[in-house]
Structures are given as structure tokens and as C-alpha cells.
């Protein structure tokens, strides 16, 4: 299950959102919205808009992230503050995704925004390559 830093947000979720969160937390790799939908259908009818709304709510509460390059979702594994960026290392061979934060990258991107009068709303960094196991 998610680490304790996010447990406070779980109590505000409805049952469907909690199910989606549990599915993301138990997944080994990122899941598309339709993969989440398929897992939910095992326990009753659910529609794509319901899944998308649940995923958006989880993202809004900092409980999940959307990986833009994969069009897939993962449960948040690290505590983030509103101003922190989320970063992901994605293995192109096995699909492993590691979430991390790096204050140096975040600071550099913030400075770039300031220097170019750009108001940054959200920063997600995705690094693609091979994980340690696949690189051997």
C-alpha cells in the first residue's frame, strides 16, 4: 500500500477512487486507464469516464502520477510538496519505473522559468533507458 505520507488523502476518496488507488499500488508497472478499467471490471461494471475521473482525483491529491510518454499511471511513491517536481526513470526493456526527486534539477528548472518569465505549473521529468538488471 502507499506509504504513510499519503494516507491522509485516502480518507477523502470515494470507494471507486480507493479501488483505483489500490490497483495502482499493487501494479508492478505503470497501467493505462484501460488496464485499470479491466482490473476494476472483475468486480462489477464500471465505465471509462469513471476511471478517468478517479485517476484525475488521485493525481490532484498527489496520490498518483501520469507518465506522459507512456500514457500510463503509477501510484506516488515519494512525498512531494506542491513546488516539488516528480521524476521517473523508465526502463525501456522491462518497464520498471523508479520515481525520484532531485532538488538540483528542480532548482535549475525553477531558475530557467524565472529567467524566461515562464510561470511553471507542473514539472514531470521522464528519463528513458535501461535499468541496472536489463543493462547487464
Domain match, 23 and 62 both: yes
134 within domain boundaries: no
CATH code of the domain covering residue 103: 3.30.1490.190
Sheet strands side by side (includes 97-100): 97-100, 86-91, 124-129
Beta-carbon count within 10 A of 5 CB: 13
Domain match, 69 and 49 both: yes
136 within domain boundaries: no
Number of domains in the chain: 2
Q: List, as residue ranges, the binding site.
A: 80, 91, 94, 131, 134
Cβ-contact 125, 112 below 8 angstroms: no
Query: What is the reported pLDDT for 85?
Result: 80
Question: CA 20 from chain center: how many Å?
Answer: 12
Query: What is the reported pLDDT for 122?
Result: 80
Residue 45 CA to residue 27 CA, distance in Å, equals 21
Domain match, 97 and 117 both: yes
Query: What is the reported pLDDT for 32?
Result: 97
Domain match, 38 and 89 both: no
Q: List, as residue ranges, the binding site for Fe cation.
A: 80
Query: What is the reported pLDDT for 8?
Result: 54
Domain match, 62 and 22 both: yes
> Grid coordinates representing 35?
488496464
9 within domain boundaries: no
Burial of 133 from C-beta contacts in 10 A (0-12 / 13-18 / 19+):
exposed
Domain match, 65 and 92 both: no
Q: Which mean pLDDT values do the consecutive 10-residue runs of the chain (136 residues) have?
A: 52 92 95 96 89 96 93 86 78 93 89 94 90 95
Residue that the C-alpha cell 471507486 belongs to: 16
CATH code of the domain covering residue 48: 1.10.10.10
Domain match, 58 and 96 both: no
Q: List, as residue ranges, the binding site for Zn(2+).
A: 91, 94, 131, 134
Range of the domain at 31: 15-75
Residue 19 CA to residue 64 CA, distance in Å, equals 13
Query: What is the reported pLDDT for 4?
Result: 43
Query: What is the reported pLDDT for 2?
Result: 40
Cβ-contact 49, 79 below 8 angstroms: no
Query: What is the reported pLDDT for 39?
Result: 94
> Grid coordinates representing 9?
488523502
Query: What is the reported pLDDT for 125?
Result: 92
φ, ψ of residue 33 to 5 degrees: the values are: -60, -35
Amino acid at each position: 500500500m502507499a506509504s504513510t505520507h499519503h494516507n491522509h488523502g485516502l480518507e477523502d476518496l470515494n470507494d471507486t477512487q480507493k479501488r483505483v488507488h489500490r490497483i495502482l499500488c499493487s501494479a508492478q508497472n505503470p497501467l493505462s486507464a484501460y488496464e485499470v478499467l479491466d482490473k476494476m471490471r472483475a468486480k462489477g461494471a464500471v465505465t471509462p469516464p469513471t476511471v478517468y475521473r478517479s485517476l484525475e482525483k488521485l493525481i490532484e491529491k498527489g496520490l498518483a502520477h501520469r507518465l506522459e510518454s507512456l500514457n500510463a499511471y503509477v501510484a506516488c511513491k515519494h512525498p512531494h510538496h506542491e513546488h516539488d517536481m516528480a521524476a521517473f526513470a523508465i526502463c525501456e526493456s522491462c518497464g520498471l519505473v523508479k520515481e525520484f526527486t532531485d532538488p538540483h534539477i528542480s532548482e535549475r528548472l525553477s531558475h530557467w522559468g524565472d529567467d524566461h518569465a515562464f510561470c511553471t505549473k507542473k514539472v514531470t521529468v521522464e528519463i528513458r533507458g535501461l535499468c541496472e538488471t536489463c543493462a547487464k
